[in-house]
Structure 1
Amino acid sequence: MAKKQTAPAKNHPSHGIYVVEGEGDRAFWTRIGCAWLHQDGEGFNVSLSALPLSGRLVIRAKKEGQ
């Protein structure tokens, strides 16, 4: 069972959103947005600055200092 996350401080996104093209060492990652974890930890608000025409979307938790 997944561990339930708690929401970070307001106005700070908890996740980055990327479009990834290619595989493995040849993959090219482009950041296209960010996501904020809901206060109850059950969902996200998403803000995108671009919409990809190809590739796949990847949502990754932000690390300290990002």
Structure 2
Amino acid sequence: MARENTQTPDALNAPDFLAWHVTQKGTKSFWNKVGAAWKHKDGKGYTLQLETCPINGRIVLREPLDEASTDTDRT
């Protein structure tokens, strides 16, 4: 017997990680969302989709935050 899929279509497409471009100016860090990553079905990799490709700074992958959380949770 086949198992019923109880996840909504939105939950199936939700990314595993968000991609952030991080730049440092003095002692401040600036975070800009630039894309997302989804785990492969076989669990051996990720697909990274970038909406823009920064040429400086670094790209950080972080799990999406709950909507109730604030951006101060990032390090």
Q: Which has the higher contact order (CA 8 A, sep 6+)?
A: 1
2 CA distance for matches of 1:59 and 1:21? 14
Q: What percent of counterpart residues are identical?
A: 33
Q: CA deviation at 1:38?
A: 1.1
2 CA distance for matches of 1:64 and 1:40? 26
Runs of 4+ displaced beyond 3 Å: 63-66
Correspondence for 1:40:
42
Count of aligned pairs: 58
Q: 2:16 is matched by which residue type in structure 1?
A: S
| Deviation readout 1:19-60 (Å, 9 max, x if unpaired) | 10017x610001000011112222111111101011001011
How large is the Cα RMSD of the aligned pairs?
A: 2.3
1 CA distance for matches of 2:47 and 2:57? 22
Correspondence for 1:28:
30
TM-score (norm 2): 0.64
SS at match of 1:30: strand
Q: CA deviation at 1:63?
A: 3.2
TM-score (norm 1): 0.71
